[in-house]
């Protein structure tokens, strides 16, 4: 295992320490239980937005804590759900009196633990809502999931709902908006290689030198199909077609096209995928009005890419464009 780490046990602790040291004006890192919180939390009179999940998907979620996005993120061990006490403490830390929304990726452990945390917080009088993101069209039910897995749309939901919270929406409005983003977003990913979880020390799965896996999950969960490696254009078509079939995007629709690196895929390749995806959409009369390209929801160093398509309307477009100031995403400030 070749990694820039000191020991597998300390990966998350040291990494979030580094994040806190790098951006002290944006985030504070709390240890035992571990969570990353906006430096100015709790923001009075604002709905708090909390997410979290296993580590190894950076910059999601800790890199998205800050003005206009998340109020707190709860990092679990690598590819392992955070615990209810992390979520409970984070929820308390960001409650500015207007309630807290949990944005939860659909993995059984995450969903269960966020539910327990919400119950604990409600028992203390806090208003808490939760929205589960389940946008991955690859498979129904998976290794850690009943129903569809939550993937790339999570990043877009955190940005868009975070902007609405910053503008002063209510908890009910934030939850409704998050449901809307989830309903209008679809994703699918693929892998060329596995990654190595530090405390495991060997690849999560073996993939022969001439094969790829289509529909892979962000923890290396099995996808739809293993097959011989194909060209970038063919792969792009294999990812985008099920997305387009699942949500009937129509001629004239505006979309946000998000091409994501699984971690180990360089920028030069991502834009080759982007190019073909843009061409397919344009040929169908779908207008790409916003683009987002880079490593935003990763699986450590896995080589591969995912595509997320979000159907936009004026509300979502305006909220996407609103200022954001986090370690990983910053514009308008």
Q: Taking CB under 8 A as the rule, does residue 212 contact its own copies?
A: yes
- 177 Cβ contact partners less than 8 Å away, ≥ 6 residues apart: 160, 161, 164, 169, 319
Kindly state the tokens that stand for 306. Answer: 């995912």
Judged by CB under 8 A, which of 33, 272, 317, 318 binds its own copies? 272
Active site residue 219: yes
How many CB atoms lie under 10 A from the CB of residue 214? 20
Active site residue 278: no
Q: Taking CB under 8 A as the rule, does residue 78 contact its own copies?
A: yes
The footprint of its own copies on residues 290-309 (CB under 8 A) is: 291, 293-295, 298, 300-301, 303-305
Give the nearest distance from C-beta 44 to its own copies in angstroms. 26
Q: What is the rounded distance in angstroms from the CA atom of residue 22 to the CA atom of residue 294?
A: 21
The footprint of its own copies on residues 119-178 (CB under 8 A) is: none
Binding mask 172-211 for its own copies (x = CB under 8 A): --------------------xx---------------x--
How many CB atoms lie under 10 A from the CB of residue 74? 32
Q: Taking CB under 8 A as the rule, does residue 18 contact its own copies?
A: yes
Q: Taking CB under 8 A as the rule, does residue 2 contact its own copies?
A: yes
- 195 Cβ contact partners less than 8 Å away, ≥ 6 residues apart: 56, 203, 204, 220, 262, 263, 264, 299, 300, 301, 302
Q: Taking CB under 8 A as the rule, does residue 11 contact its own copies?
A: yes
Give the nearest distance from C-beta 175 to its own copies in angstroms. 29
Catalytic residue among 57, 61, 88, 102: 57
- Name the site residues for its own copies (rule: CB under 8 A): 2-7, 11-12, 14-19, 21-23, 55-56, 58-59, 63, 78, 192-193, 209, 212, 229, 231-233, 235, 257, 263-275, 278-279, 288, 291, 293-295, 298, 300-301, 303-305, 327-328, 330-333
Q: Which residues are known catalytic residues?
A: 57, 219
């Amino acid at each position: 295992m070749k990694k820039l780490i000191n020991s597998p046990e300390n990966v998350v602790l040291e990494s979030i320490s580094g994040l806190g040291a790098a951006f002290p004006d944006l985030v504070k890192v709390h240890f035992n239980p571990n969570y990353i919180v906006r430096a100015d939390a709790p923001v009075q009179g604002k709905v708090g937005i909390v997410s979290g999940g296993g580590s190894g998907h950076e910059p999601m979620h800790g890199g998205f804590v800050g003005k206009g996005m998340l109020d707190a993120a709860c990092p679990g061990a690598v590819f392992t759900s955070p615990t209810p006490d992390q979520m409970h403490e984070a929820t308390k830390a960001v409650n500015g009196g207007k309630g807290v929304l949990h944005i939860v990726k659909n993995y059984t452990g995450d969903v269960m633990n966020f539910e327990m945390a919400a119950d604990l917080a409600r028992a203390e009088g806090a208003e808490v809502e939760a929205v589960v993101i389940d946008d991955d069209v690859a498979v129904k039910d998976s290794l850690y999931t009943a129903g569809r897995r939550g993937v790339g749309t999570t990043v877009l939901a955190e940005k868009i709902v975070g902007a609405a919270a910053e503008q002063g929406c209510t908890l009910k409005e934030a939850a409704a908006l998050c449901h809307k983003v989830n309903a209008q977003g679809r994703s699918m990913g693929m892998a060329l290689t596995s990654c190595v979880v530090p405390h495991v020390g060997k690849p999560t799965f073996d993939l022969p030198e001439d094969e790829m896996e289509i529909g892979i999950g962000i923890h290396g969960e099995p996808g739809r199909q293993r097959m011989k490696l194909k060209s970038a254009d063919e792969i792009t078509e294999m990812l985008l077609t099920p997305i387009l079939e699942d949500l009937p995007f129509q001629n004239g629709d505006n979309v946000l096209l998000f091409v994501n690196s699984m971690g180990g895929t360089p920028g030069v390749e991502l834009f080759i995928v982007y190019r073909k995806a843009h061409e397919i959409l344009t040929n169908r009369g779908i207008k790409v009005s916003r683009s987002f390209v880079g490593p935003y929801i990763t699986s450590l160093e896995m080589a591969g890419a995912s595509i997320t398509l979000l159907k936009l309307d004026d509300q979502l477009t305006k909220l996407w464009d609103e200022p954001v100031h986090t370690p990983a995403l910053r514009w308008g400030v």
